[in-house]
């Protein structure tokens, strides 16, 4: 991949994450973090709605099936490791009882296709 292709992919990803954040916000989620980086991985979006703390992987591809295929086992395990890191900081989850956890995926295919898949994985978290 050339430098220009990497820059274009980065831009597409950034625009996709912004669209995903707007989608979650419109559904009543509060965005806690974008591109949350840890020593063990990165989480595209972290959001909260009510008792749910949601870790979101965002993928932008030419069509929805390609975007779904792009969420590999490596992606899932990276997000889960980063989520454990995030949860090890007690001040991150806020006051009150422990939240319910969920791993979602938002897949986009420009110009107008977007899907929010709740509880996309993580039964054995």
Q: Mark residue 122 as left, alpha or beta (left: phi above 0; alpha: psi -120 to 50; beta: remaining).
A: left
Instruction: To the nearest 10°, report the CA torsion of 28, 92, 33, 125.
Output: -80
Q: How far out from the chain centre does Cα 55 lie?
A: 5
**Does residue 90 have a pLDDT over 90?**
no
pTM of the complete model: 0.89
Tell me the β-bridge partners of 116. 106
**Per residue, what are the HEC states of 35-62?**
EEEECCEEEEEEEEECCEEEEEEEEECC
Residue pLDDT, tens place only, 61-87: 999 999 999 999 999 999 999 999 998
CATH 3.40.1350.10 fits 3-121, yes or no: yes
Q: Where are the domains of the chain?
A: 3-121
**Does residue 58 have a pLDDT over 90?**
yes
């Amino acid at each position: 991949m050339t430098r220009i292709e990497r820059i274009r992919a980065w831009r597409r990803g950034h625009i996709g994450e912004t669209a995903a954040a707007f989608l979650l916000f419109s559904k009543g989620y509060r965005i806690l973090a974008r591109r949350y980086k840890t020593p063990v991985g990165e989480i595209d979006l972290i959001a909260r709605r009510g008792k749910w703390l949601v870790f979101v992987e965002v993928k932008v591809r030419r069509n929805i099936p390609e975007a779904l295929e792009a969420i590999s086992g490596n992606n899932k395990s990276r997000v889960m490791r980063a989520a454990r890191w995030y949860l090890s900081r007690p001040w991150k989850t806020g006051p009150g009882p422990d939240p319910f956890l969920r791993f979602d995926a938002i897949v986009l295919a420009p110009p107008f296709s977007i899907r929010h898949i709740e509880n996309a994985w993580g039964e054995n978290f």
